[in-house]
Amino acid sequence: MTPASIFIVEDEVLIAMELEERLRQLNYTVCGHVTQGEEACVKVEDLHPDLILMDISLAGAMNGIEAAERIRQAHDISVVFLSAFSDNDLLRKAAHVEPHGYLVKPFEERELHATITMALYRHQMERERAELTRKLQRAVDEIRELRALLPFCAWCKQKIREEDDQWVGFETYIKRHLGNDITHSICPECFAQEKTKL
C-alpha cells in the first residue's frame, strides 16, 4: 500500500523539520513544506497531498484557518490543525472549517499517528459516501425520467414506443434499458378472471 502523502504548513522551521522526521519514521511521505497560508493555497494545486498538517498561527496575511477554508473550497483534501492553543474561541473558528483533526503542541508521536490515521480514514469514508450519494441520485433521476417518458400504448397497454418509433413489449423494453430480467406471476384479479373462464 502506498504511504499517505502529507503536506506541512508550519512557519517555525525547527518544528517543521522535527515533524517531517517524525512523519518519515511513521512511514508517511512528506510531499512538501511551506511557511505561509498563501503559499500553501498555491502549492497544493501541484502537490495533491492526501492530508495537510496546518499550523493555525502562520506568518503572512493569511492564518491557517483561512488557508484551510480556501483549500477546502477548491480541493477535496483532509486537514489536521496544529496549534499551541486550545481555547474555546479558537476551537470554534477551527471547527467551522470542518478539519479532520486538531493537535495541541507539543504532541507525542503516537498522538500524531493516531490523529492522521483517523483523519485519513474519515476522509475516505466521506468520499465513499459522497460517491454513493451521487450514484443513488443518478439512479433516481434515471427512474424519474423513465417514468415520465414511457409512451405506453393506450389501447393494449402492453407495448412501449422506442426512440425510433418501433413498438416493443414491456419485457423487451425493461431488459434493453435497465438490464433487468422480468419474473412472471399472476395478480389475484387476473387469476380470478381467468378462473371464471374455465
Give the tens place of pLDDT for each residue, 63-121: 999 999 999 999 999 999 999 988 888 899 999 999 999 999 999 999 999 999 999 99
The DSSP result for 59-113, as a single string, is: BSSS-HHHHHHHHHHH---EEEEEES---HHHHHHHHHT--SEEEESS--HHHHH
- Can you tell me the distance from the alpha carbon of 198 to that of 195, in angstroms, rounded to the nearest whole number? 5
Kindly report, residue by residue over 111-151, the tens digit of the pLDDT.
999 999 999 999 999 999 999 988 888 887 776 666 556 67
Residue 110 has phi, psi (to 5 degrees) of: -65, -35
Which pTM value belongs to this model? 0.70
Domain limits, the chain: 5-131, 150-197
Strands 159-161 and 167-169: antiparallel
Class for domain 5-131, per CATH?
A: alpha beta
Residue written as cell 409512451? 151
Kindly report, residue by residue over 11-55, the tens digit of the pLDDT.
999 999 999 999 999 999 999 999 999 999 999 999 999 999 999
